[in-house]
Homo-oligomer: A and B are copies of this chain.
Amino acid sequence: MTYCIGIMLDKGVIFASDSRTNAGVDDFAKFCKMTVFERTGERVIVLLSSGNLAGTQSVISLLSQRCAEGDAATNVLGAKTMFDVCRLVSDAMRETEQRDAEYLEQSKVPFNASFIVGGQIAGEPVRLFRIYAEGNFIEAGPDTLFLQTGETKYGKPILDRALTHETSLADATKCVLVSFDSTIRSNLSVGMPIDLICYEKDSLTVQWRRRFDEGDPYFTAVSEAWGEGTKQVFSRLPVLRW
Protein backbone atom coordinates (compact mmCIF):
# COMPACT_ATOMS: atom_id res chain seq x y z
CA MET A 1 0.00 0.00 0.00
CA THR A 2 1.02 3.63 0.26
CA TYR A 3 0.19 6.79 2.13
CA CYS A 4 0.35 10.08 0.24
CA ILE A 5 -1.12 13.43 1.10
CA GLY A 6 -1.35 16.95 -0.32
CA ILE A 7 -2.61 19.78 1.88
CA MET A 8 -3.77 23.19 0.56
CA LEU A 9 -3.29 26.05 2.98
CA ASP A 10 -3.52 29.81 2.65
CA LYS A 11 0.28 30.02 2.87
CA GLY A 12 1.11 27.20 0.46
CA VAL A 13 0.87 23.47 0.01
CA ILE A 14 2.45 20.49 1.74
CA PHE A 15 3.20 17.18 0.05
CA ALA A 16 4.21 13.98 1.79
CA SER A 17 4.62 10.35 0.75
CA ASP A 18 5.83 7.15 2.35
CA SER A 19 8.30 4.86 0.56
CA ARG A 20 7.07 1.31 1.01
CA THR A 21 5.96 -0.81 -1.90
CA ASN A 22 4.87 -4.38 -1.54
CA ALA A 23 3.63 -7.29 -3.59
CA GLY A 24 2.81 -9.46 -0.61
CA VAL A 25 4.37 -9.39 2.86
CA ASP A 26 7.48 -11.23 1.68
CA ASP A 27 8.16 -8.88 -1.20
CA PHE A 28 8.49 -5.31 -0.04
CA ALA A 29 10.90 -2.56 -0.98
CA LYS A 30 11.66 1.14 -0.69
CA PHE A 31 10.87 3.50 -3.56
CA CYS A 32 10.53 7.25 -3.47
CA LYS A 33 6.97 8.14 -4.50
CA MET A 34 7.59 11.86 -4.82
CA THR A 35 8.62 13.45 -8.13
CA VAL A 36 9.33 17.14 -8.69
CA PHE A 37 9.34 19.05 -11.97
CA GLU A 38 10.76 22.48 -11.25
CA ARG A 39 11.86 25.59 -13.10
CA THR A 40 12.88 28.04 -10.43
CA GLY A 41 10.93 31.27 -10.68
CA GLU A 42 8.47 29.76 -13.14
CA ARG A 43 6.94 26.52 -11.88
CA VAL A 44 6.96 23.87 -9.20
CA ILE A 45 5.04 20.66 -9.93
CA VAL A 46 4.96 17.81 -7.41
CA LEU A 47 3.60 14.34 -8.15
CA LEU A 48 2.89 11.71 -5.47
CA SER A 49 2.41 8.18 -6.82
CA SER A 50 0.10 5.46 -5.53
CA GLY A 51 -0.69 2.01 -6.83
CA ASN A 52 1.12 -0.49 -8.99
CA LEU A 53 4.78 0.55 -9.11
CA ALA A 54 5.40 -0.57 -12.69
CA GLY A 55 2.51 1.65 -13.74
CA THR A 56 3.50 4.75 -11.78
CA GLN A 57 7.17 4.48 -12.77
CA SER A 58 6.21 4.18 -16.42
CA VAL A 59 4.09 7.33 -16.16
CA ILE A 60 6.91 9.26 -14.47
CA SER A 61 9.42 8.04 -17.06
CA LEU A 62 7.16 9.09 -19.92
CA LEU A 63 6.75 12.56 -18.38
CA SER A 64 10.49 12.91 -17.72
CA GLN A 65 11.47 11.73 -21.20
CA ARG A 66 9.09 14.22 -22.75
CA CYS A 67 10.57 17.02 -20.66
CA ALA A 68 14.00 16.02 -21.96
CA GLU A 69 12.71 15.90 -25.53
CA GLY A 70 11.10 19.31 -25.08
CA ASP A 71 8.02 18.67 -27.23
CA ALA A 72 5.71 21.52 -26.17
CA ALA A 73 2.50 19.51 -26.60
CA THR A 74 3.41 16.72 -24.14
CA ASN A 75 5.79 18.43 -21.76
CA VAL A 76 4.78 19.28 -18.17
CA LEU A 77 7.59 21.86 -18.03
CA GLY A 78 5.94 23.66 -20.94
CA ALA A 79 2.27 23.29 -19.92
CA LYS A 80 0.50 26.63 -19.42
CA THR A 81 -1.60 25.65 -16.39
CA MET A 82 -1.74 23.02 -13.66
CA PHE A 83 -4.93 21.77 -15.30
CA ASP A 84 -2.94 21.12 -18.49
CA VAL A 85 -0.25 19.38 -16.41
CA CYS A 86 -2.91 17.01 -15.05
CA ARG A 87 -4.14 16.29 -18.56
CA LEU A 88 -0.61 15.35 -19.59
CA VAL A 89 -0.22 13.09 -16.54
CA SER A 90 -3.60 11.56 -17.33
CA ASP A 91 -2.58 11.00 -20.97
CA ALA A 92 0.60 9.23 -19.86
CA MET A 93 -1.46 7.06 -17.49
CA ARG A 94 -3.88 6.07 -20.24
CA GLU A 95 -1.01 5.36 -22.61
CA THR A 96 0.58 3.06 -20.02
CA GLU A 97 -2.74 1.43 -19.29
CA GLN A 98 -3.42 0.79 -22.98
CA ARG A 99 -0.01 -0.80 -23.31
CA ASP A 100 -0.21 -2.99 -20.18
CA ALA A 101 -3.85 -3.60 -19.23
CA GLU A 102 -4.43 -6.58 -21.50
CA TYR A 103 -1.35 -8.34 -20.12
CA LEU A 104 -2.16 -7.51 -16.51
CA GLU A 105 -5.64 -8.89 -16.97
CA GLN A 106 -4.13 -12.32 -17.60
CA SER A 107 -2.91 -12.24 -13.97
CA LYS A 108 -6.09 -10.52 -12.73
CA VAL A 109 -4.04 -7.46 -11.71
CA PRO A 110 -5.91 -4.25 -12.54
CA PHE A 111 -3.99 -1.18 -13.70
CA ASN A 112 -4.29 1.03 -10.63
CA ALA A 113 -1.79 3.89 -10.79
CA SER A 114 -3.08 7.12 -9.33
CA PHE A 115 -1.52 10.47 -8.44
CA ILE A 116 -1.74 13.53 -6.27
CA VAL A 117 -0.51 16.45 -8.38
CA GLY A 118 -0.01 19.96 -7.12
CA GLY A 119 2.10 23.05 -7.20
CA GLN A 120 2.12 26.36 -8.97
CA ILE A 121 2.83 27.81 -12.40
CA ALA A 122 3.63 31.55 -12.59
CA GLY A 123 0.41 33.49 -13.19
CA GLU A 124 -1.78 30.90 -11.47
CA PRO A 125 -2.58 30.35 -7.80
CA VAL A 126 -1.35 27.21 -6.04
CA ARG A 127 -3.47 24.24 -7.18
CA LEU A 128 -3.91 20.66 -5.98
CA PHE A 129 -5.41 17.69 -7.84
CA ARG A 130 -6.05 14.00 -7.43
CA ILE A 131 -5.93 11.89 -10.59
CA TYR A 132 -7.80 8.58 -10.40
CA ALA A 133 -6.58 5.36 -12.02
CA GLU A 134 -9.00 5.99 -14.90
CA GLY A 135 -7.22 9.27 -15.66
CA ASN A 136 -10.07 11.59 -14.67
CA PHE A 137 -9.29 13.99 -11.86
CA ILE A 138 -10.61 16.32 -9.18
CA GLU A 139 -9.22 19.62 -7.91
CA ALA A 140 -9.19 20.69 -4.27
CA GLY A 141 -11.42 23.72 -3.69
CA PRO A 142 -11.95 26.08 -0.77
CA ASP A 143 -13.95 23.39 1.06
CA THR A 144 -11.33 20.69 0.58
CA LEU A 145 -8.27 21.07 2.71
CA PHE A 146 -6.44 17.91 1.76
CA LEU A 147 -6.38 14.99 -0.69
CA GLN A 148 -5.07 11.58 0.34
CA THR A 149 -4.32 8.30 -1.44
CA GLY A 150 -3.58 4.78 -0.19
CA GLU A 151 -3.95 3.93 3.51
CA THR A 152 -5.83 7.12 4.25
CA LYS A 153 -7.94 6.24 7.28
CA TYR A 154 -5.53 5.88 10.20
CA GLY A 155 -4.08 9.33 9.71
CA LYS A 156 -7.27 11.19 8.82
CA PRO A 157 -8.79 12.00 12.25
CA ILE A 158 -5.81 14.11 13.29
CA LEU A 159 -5.94 16.08 10.02
CA ASP A 160 -9.70 16.58 10.40
CA ARG A 161 -9.16 17.82 13.95
CA ALA A 162 -6.09 19.99 13.62
CA LEU A 163 -6.08 21.64 10.20
CA THR A 164 -7.79 24.74 8.87
CA HIS A 165 -6.88 26.93 5.88
CA GLU A 166 -5.20 29.35 8.28
CA THR A 167 -2.89 26.71 9.78
CA SER A 168 0.73 27.78 9.31
CA LEU A 169 3.04 25.70 7.13
CA ALA A 170 5.12 24.90 10.23
CA ASP A 171 2.11 23.61 12.20
CA ALA A 172 0.72 21.68 9.24
CA THR A 173 4.12 20.03 8.81
CA LYS A 174 3.95 18.73 12.40
CA CYS A 175 0.41 17.54 11.74
CA VAL A 176 1.43 15.61 8.61
CA LEU A 177 4.22 13.88 10.49
CA VAL A 178 1.85 12.84 13.30
CA SER A 179 -0.58 11.58 10.67
CA PHE A 180 2.19 9.48 9.10
CA ASP A 181 3.37 8.27 12.50
CA SER A 182 -0.16 7.05 13.33
CA THR A 183 -0.44 5.28 9.98
CA ILE A 184 2.98 3.61 10.13
CA ARG A 185 2.32 2.36 13.66
CA SER A 186 -1.01 0.80 12.66
CA ASN A 187 -0.27 -0.55 9.18
CA LEU A 188 2.69 -2.59 7.95
CA SER A 189 2.17 -1.64 4.31
CA VAL A 190 3.17 1.99 4.94
CA GLY A 191 6.82 2.61 5.86
CA MET A 192 9.67 5.08 6.27
CA PRO A 193 11.34 7.05 4.84
CA ILE A 194 8.80 9.85 4.51
CA ASP A 195 9.43 12.44 1.81
CA LEU A 196 8.12 15.90 2.62
CA ILE A 197 7.91 19.12 0.65
CA CYS A 198 6.59 22.33 2.08
CA TYR A 199 5.94 24.74 -0.79
CA GLU A 200 5.43 28.39 0.07
CA LYS A 201 2.90 30.18 -2.15
CA ASP A 202 4.41 32.31 -4.94
CA SER A 203 7.97 31.24 -4.12
CA LEU A 204 8.11 29.23 -7.37
CA THR A 205 10.94 27.14 -5.97
CA VAL A 206 11.25 24.16 -3.62
CA GLN A 207 12.86 25.74 -0.59
CA TRP A 208 11.95 23.06 1.94
CA ARG A 209 12.34 19.42 1.14
CA ARG A 210 13.27 16.79 3.67
CA ARG A 211 13.45 13.01 3.92
CA PHE A 212 12.72 11.40 7.29
CA ASP A 213 14.34 8.00 7.59
CA GLU A 214 13.98 5.43 10.37
CA GLY A 215 15.34 6.96 13.58
CA ASP A 216 15.29 10.56 12.30
CA PRO A 217 15.82 12.63 15.47
CA TYR A 218 13.15 15.22 14.66
CA PHE A 219 10.54 12.63 13.65
CA THR A 220 11.31 10.63 16.79
CA ALA A 221 11.02 13.75 18.96
CA VAL A 222 7.65 14.65 17.41
CA SER A 223 6.38 11.09 17.82
CA GLU A 224 7.42 10.93 21.47
CA ALA A 225 6.13 14.39 22.33
CA TRP A 226 2.83 13.53 20.65
CA GLY A 227 2.53 10.25 22.54
CA GLU A 228 3.41 11.86 25.85
CA GLY A 229 1.14 14.85 25.23
CA THR A 230 -1.91 12.80 24.24
CA LYS A 231 -1.43 10.63 27.35
CA GLN A 232 -1.64 13.77 29.45
CA VAL A 233 -4.74 14.93 27.58
CA PHE A 234 -6.34 11.55 28.37
CA SER A 235 -5.56 11.76 32.02
CA ARG A 236 -7.27 15.16 32.14
CA LEU A 237 -10.45 14.09 30.30
CA PRO A 238 -13.49 14.05 32.57
CA VAL A 239 -14.29 10.65 34.13
CA LEU A 240 -17.64 9.09 33.24
CA ARG A 241 -20.17 8.98 36.08
CA TRP A 242 -22.28 5.92 35.36
- The residues of A with any CB-CB pair to B shorter than 8 Å are 151, 153-158, 160-162, 170-171, 173-175, 178, 182-183, 185-187, 198, 207-208, 210, 218, 221-222, 225-227, 229-242
Instruction: Name the contact of A157 in the complex, choosing from B186, B225, B232, B237 (C-beta under 8 A).
Output: B186
A218 touching B240, Cβ below 8 Å: yes
A186 touching B160, Cβ below 8 Å: yes
A239 touching B170, Cβ below 8 Å: yes
Q: How far is the CA of A232 from the CA of B162 in the complex (A)?
A: 10
Instruction: Name the contact of A154 in the complex, choosing from B154, B170, B229, B242 (C-beta under 8 A).
Output: B154
Which chain B residues border A175 with CB–CB below 8 Å? Answer: 234
Interface of A is mostly: helix
Instruction: Name the contact of A210 in the complex, choosing from B218, B231, B242 (C-beta under 8 A).
Output: B242
Which chain B residues border A242 with CB–CB below 8 Å? Answer: 198, 207-208, 210
Distance in Å: Cβ of A170 to nearest Cβ of chain B: 5
Which chain B residues border A162 with CB–CB below 8 Å? Answer: 230-231, 234
Which chain B residues border A160 with CB–CB below 8 Å? Answer: 185-186
| Nearest-neighbor residue (CB-CB) of A182 within chain B | B157
Q: How far is the CA of A126 from the CA of B232 in the complex (A)?
A: 29
A171 touching B234, Cβ below 8 Å: yes
